[in-house]
Amino acid sequence: MSNTIETIKEQINSNDILLYMKGNPRAPQCGFSSQAVQALMACGERFAFVNILDNPDIRAELPKFANWPTFPQLWIKGELVGGCDIIVEMAGNGELQTLINAAVGTTEE
C-alpha cells in the first residue's frame, strides 16, 4: 500500500501540471474529467495525466493522500488545486491560466 503512496508522490513531484482523471485527454471517461481537460487544454500548455481507471490502487489511495474525495484532481507544482468545479471556475476567471503560466515559467503578454 505504501508503494502506491510513493508512486503518487513521485507522479506529483515529477510533473509540474498533473491531472488525475477518468480516461485520457483524448477520450475522457466522465463529464467532469472532460470539463477539466477542456479547461486545461484551453490554457495551451502540455500536462501530464494519470488514468485512474487503469490504476485502481491510485484510485483507492489518492483521495486519502490528498484529503480530496473525488476525481478529477488537478495538481500544479506539487499542490492540489482541486476538482472539476474549481478548475472550471478558475478557467473562467483567468486564475487557471495564471497558475499554469507560473508553473511552466511563461508570462502572459
Whether residue 46 is annotated as binding a ligand: the answer is no
Whether residue 43 is annotated as binding a ligand: the answer is no
Whether residue 85 is annotated as binding a ligand: the answer is yes
Q: Which of 52, 100, 95 is nearest to 75 (CA)?
A: 100
The cell numbers describing 27, all together, are 477520450
Q: How far apart are the first and last CA of the chain?
A: 45
Instruction: Check residue 2 and give its pLDDT.
Output: 73
Per-residue pLDDT of the chain (109 residues; tens, 9 = 90+): 479 999 999 999 999 999 999 999 999 999 999 999 999 999 999 999 999 999 999 999 999 999 999 999 999 999 999 999 999 999 999 999 999 999 998 765 4
Instruction: Check residue 42 and give its pLDDT.
Output: 97
Domain membership flag for residue 109:
no
Q: Which domain holds residue 9?
A: 2-104
Number of structural domains the chain divides into = 1
Whether residue 71 is annotated as binding a ligand: the answer is yes
- Degrees, nearest 5: CA angle 74-76-77: 150
Whether residue 47 is annotated as binding a ligand: the answer is no
Instruction: Check residue 53 and give its pLDDT.
Output: 98
Cβ atoms of 16 and 104 within 8 Å: the answer is yes
Q: Is 6 helix (H, G, I), strand (E, B) or coil?
A: helix
The CATH number covering residue 86 comes to 3.40.30.10
